[in-house]
Structure 1
Amino acid sequence: MAHPSIQDTVLDFPILIGDIGGTNARFAIVVDSYAEPREFPVVQTADFATIDEAIQTTILDQTNIMPRSAVLAVAGPVDGDEIDLTNCDWVVRPKQMMAELGFSDVVVLNDFEAQALAVVALGEEHLEKIGGGVAETTGSRVVLGPGTGLGVAGLVHARHTWIPVPGEGGHVDIGPRTERDLEIFPHVERIDGRVSAEQLLCGRGLVNLYRAIGKADGKDAKLATPAEITGAALERRDDIAMEALDLFVTYLGRLAGDLGLVFMSRGGVFLTGGIAQKIVPALQNGKFRAAFEDKAPHSALLADMPVFVITHPMAALSGIAAFARTPARFGVETSGRRWRSR
């Protein structure tokens, strides 16, 4: 890959930055390379037919700052001039945005690529450690987050540059391991005959797991939403919910350990998103860490690998802002993902 020049990487201020997930979209404007991002209220994607309408109504109509550039991180693979979101009906059309919203430069990243950038943009005050040793300063890292779906991305350091590695790791296979797993998995809802990690490790995945436990045991699983299940489990008032959350953190630990091995994440494994933040007590009860480290013959390696929960509510925006201010600091490949009018 040829190294771009500073002129090729620089973005014109002000810059609209956005983190667009399946349920929520978060926006801010970076006025210059020194200013903190000016954040706007969180947008519910279901409230607007298109992303262009959401940006016009909730951002551009509410400020006299007119962004010249935009850096958007979206939940889905970036491919072509029409970018579909995986768990949302919005379609990002950069050329149309430039024509109708006035941008002269649009960069579109994967949402978990932005989460990976956030890992080096956030301070210790926004990290809750879940065991392990000391993170290596320039060690490789991996970030995963159960939310509307399950996002995964890596971050590697080379030639004095942090390079995010986007992907669709949330869709890897996940399977039973224990006798209890074998009782539950036949009742897990499948997509095209398979159980991917996202089928268990996201909001609807927690509901899927809760219902599967009820069916396996012949019990009435009455709760309907991730929030209800999480609340009942943490308050210890529903046995099925308690087991569902225990298994959720166990399966999350298994996958996080697998990804830690894939990336040899001596810089840490990072859990992000609202679900991880809400279940910190469950993540600290030992089951997550036991599953994370149970990777013979490399259990000792995993035991030393730190895990952190990112507690910043706008973590991805922090990562996008860091990139928007100084793109040359990061090895972000923008070929095929950047649209300019000049």
Structure 2
Amino acid sequence: MTPTNESAESLKFPILIGDIGGTNARFALLVDAFADPKTFPVVQTADFPNIDDAIQATVLDQTSIQPRSAVLALAGPISGEEIELTNCPWVVRPRKLISDLGFDEIILVNDFEAQALAVSALPEAGREAIGPVGAPNDGARVVVGPGTGLGVAGLVRARNMWIPVAGEGGHIDLGPRTDRDLALWPHLERIEGRVSAEQVLCGRGLVNLTNAIAQADGRKPEPHTPASVTVAAGAGDKAALEAIHLFGTYLGRVAGDLALVFMARGGVYIAGGIFGHIAPYVDRAAMRAAFEDKAPHSDLLREVPLYAITLPLAALAGLATFARAPGFYGLETVNRRWSR
């Protein structure tokens, strides 16, 4: 069993598709190219020692269908025979999955490649515009998603195919611009001296930002979780509301930067669980303004759509779209596809 560079055209049904993030794992089965995915309950990665046990308990023990192929999206870079997830202790070993769970072949992709696949065919009902939206086009697109971490992927159109571009864009530097930013930045938790976008724009980042606000205002930070910050905002807590307001502004800034990197005339799409929870308290006008505030290219950004993805289980929908018609996608499978 060695990695193969064959085309993904030869995927065999039934196909297990999975979206494995730092906190949650989501699985579904595609029986054939025409069937809707059969989804299974979302499980927490912390409840299982490894992905093998999670697949066995969540899927294989719950159905008589034996999947022949698997397309799994993982929250981390895909490299080598043992793939470590960025924000989860699981290590994925494709050879072991094939030998122990009975697959004929496995394809591994980055979790935000799966999100990028989803936006290639996202229905209008599965997205919500933030600010003005121009005419739809086949220009490059970007997905950015605050969750356990901050995921980023691009999607470009070439040779009549959509080509997902994976990366670790969530770890770009994020710097202060306003006087309030300058007051907060000394109090933000850093990694080896850096304030990356992910240090602010994810679940723990929202807590990091809330704590920095308290310290900048001369108060002792209270113990918080992302959920408790959201609850406090709903109760009218000024610090929590400011944290979410700034979170939206900084997310707009990063989304605008990524739009410039990819010249994403097809739009920037916000995914991830965090934004859906805090959306009622986000100042969308301020977020859109931050997105467009990119002199000397502000005029260009005004023409770029910004969306929030509202389709449930969007990553699984993207993987299913790819599995049904892989020929429409330029998904690189060299060293990311294993077979018996």
Gap change, CA 1:25 and 1:190, over 3 Å in 2: same
Does the 8 A contact of 2:130 with 2:284 survive in 1? Answer: no
Deviations 1:82-131 (A, max 9, x none): 00000001111000000000001000000000000000232111111101
Aligned residue in 2 for 1:130: 130
When normalised by structure 2's length, the TM-score is 0.96
How much does 1:301 deviate? 1.0
Between the two proteins, the alignment pairs up a number of residues equal to 337
Change (3 A) 1:73 1:5: closer
TM-score, structure 1 normalization: 0.96
**Which secondary structure does the structure 1 equivalent of 2:206 belong to?**
helix
Asked if the contact 1:164–1:331 (Cα under 8 Å) also holds between the matched residues in 2, the reply is: yes
Q: Tell me the distance in 1 between the aligned counterparts of 2:53 and 2:33.
A: 27
Q: Secondary structure at the match of 1:73?
A: strand
Native 8 Å contact 2:18 2:73 kept in 1: yes
Pick closer, same or farther for the CA change 1:30–1:65 going to 2, 3 Å. same
Give the 5 Å matches for 1:178-189: 178-189=178-189
Aligned counterparts of 2:278 and 2:230: Cα–Cα separation in 1: 8
Kindly tell me: are residues 135 and 243 of structure 1, through their superposed partners in 2, closer, same or farther at Cα, counting changes over 3 Å?
A: same
Residue 35 of structure 2 aligns to a residue whose secondary structure is coil
Match of 1:95 in 2: 95
Deviations 1:232-272 (A, max 9, x none): 22x25211111111110110010000001111111010001
SS at match of 1:121: coil
Contact 1:130 / 1:284 at 8 angstroms: preserved in 2? Answer: no
Q: Is the 8 A contact 2:6 2:334 kept in 1?
A: no
Matching residue of 1:311: 310
CA distance in 2, matches of 1:46, 1:246: 31
Cα distance, 1:339–1:135 mapped onto 2, change above 3 Å: farther
For 2:147, the equivalent position in structure 1 comes to: 147
Determine the structure 1 residue equivalent to 2:68.
Answer: 68
How far has the Cα of 1:7 moved from its partner?
6.3
Matches within 5 A, 1:161-172: 161-172=161-172
**Root-mean-square deviation over aligned CA pairs:** 1.5
Within-5 A mapping of 1:127-276 = 127-233=127-233, 235=234, 237-276=236-275
Shift of 1:277: 1.6
Whole-Å separation in 2 of the counterparts to 1:285 and 1:255: 15
Distance in 2, Cα, partners of 1:139 & 1:220 = 47
Q: Secondary structure at the match of 2:213?
A: helix
Q: Counterparts of 1:38-77 in structure 2 under 5 Å?
A: 38-77=38-77
Instruction: Tell me the CA shift for residue 221 of structure 1.
Output: 3.3
Contact 1:15 1:70 in 2 (8 A): yes
Query: Could you say what secondary structure the match of 1:29 adopts?
Result: strand
